[in-house]
Amino acid sequence: MLDRLNFPQPGLSLTLFVIWQILSEGVSGGSIVLGLILAWLIPQLTHGFWPERPAVVKIWRMPIYVMRVLKDIVVASCSVAWLILSLRTPRPAFINYPLKLEHPLAISILASTISLTPGTVSADISDDNKTLLIHALDAASDQEVIDAIHNRYEKPLMEMFQ
């Protein structure tokens, strides 16, 4: 029993603890106790789902990437809004995106980015983690979408997870 009283992912535990203090109104004895319980319990329960940590993560590149994604979300939202309001019929497409990223964490960040930026939703990943199925709302050509995703999102992620 005692050997389970550890924190397998200190970073995750610390994040959970801090988030709980922010969410509960004001730090008190109760919020600290409950925060500690959650910081211990949640990593224990989710431990099996986490991929192995990548060897090198250049975390300082993350803010630049997040800013770029936020800007793209706003710009592309406007174009999707325009598409919805104009009476033009969209040209939807399923696109097989060839992945160059290898680490599962990097791939899931890329897939989430694709879903967050308007106009594309990542639908599935092949069993060998080599191909991502993307549904695009309005694609002029497959190659255009693939190039855009590769240059804007996959390249920075590859630099981050090398």
Query: Could you list the residues that contact other proteins (CB under 8 A)?
Result: 19, 22-23, 73-74, 77, 80-81, 84-85, 89-96, 111-116, 118-119, 121-124, 126, 133, 135, 137, 139, 142
Residue whose C-alpha is closest to residue 32's, from 13, 18, 43: 18
Q: Which is nearer to other proteins, 56 or 59 (CB)?
A: 59
CA dist., res. 89 & res. 110, Å (int): 28
Q: Which is nearer to other proteins, 3 or 43 (CB)?
A: 43
Q: Which is nearer to other proteins, 6 or 73 (CB)?
A: 73
CB of 3 to other proteins, least distance (A): 31
Tell me how far CA of residue 80 lies from CA of 47, 68, 88, 123, in angstroms. 38, 18, 12, 19
Q: Which is nearer to other proteins, 76 or 162 (CB)?
A: 76
CB of 117 to other proteins, least distance (A): 9
CB of 124 to other proteins, least distance (A): 6
Residue whose C-alpha is closest to residue 59's, from 130, 117, 109, 16: 109
121 Cβ contact list (under 8 Å, min separation 6):
114, 115, 134, 135
